[in-house]
Amino acid sequence: MPARVVCISRTLGAGGTDVGRLVSERLGFRYLDEEIVGRAAEKGQVDPDLVVDVEQRSSIARRAGEKLVRESDAARAAYFKEFYGLSEESPTHYDLVVNTGLLTVAETAELVVAAAGFGLDAA
């Protein structure tokens, strides 16, 4: 049987980590995040502890937050260029695009699970 994978790509502050954890729980999948970050950081010659530290900061000043988002967006663009040869990200690169600003984490996870074709009772 082929491996089943749900990959959640997200921007900083979109709630992707919480959605990913909930989706993996509902589908009975193993959740990978820091492991992937560590591998990518190693390949990009970036200290994985620094990456995790930045991800875990939850209380930052507005200006610092805006700067962090700009830097995150630039890093995301560089990642897509380096690993996929894409000059810009497009919604058409994905099977499902969700505006997490309009839905709760649970609602978003429900959509992802349904789109994956497994149903909420599969776990």
Tens of pLDDT along the chain (123 residues) come to 566 778 787 777 788 888 989 999 998 888 887 777 677 777 777 776 666 666 666 555 566 777 777 888 888 788 888 888 888 878 777 788 888 889 999 999 999 999 887 544 444
In a domain, 3, yes or no: no
Residue 16 · residue 105 · CB < 8 Å: no
Give the chain's domain count: 1
Q: Which residues, in sequence order, are CB contacts of 26 under 8 Å at separation 6+?
A: 109, 113, 120, 122, 123
In a domain, 30, yes or no: yes
Cα–Cα dist 45/115, whole Å? 35
Q: What is the pTM of this model?
A: 0.55
Give the model's pLDDT for residue 72. Answer: 81
Could you list the residue range(s) of the whole structural domain that residue 22 is in?
A: 16-122
In a domain, 4, yes or no: no
In a domain, 53, yes or no: yes
In a domain, 90, yes or no: yes
Looking at the chain, how many residues does it have?
A: 123
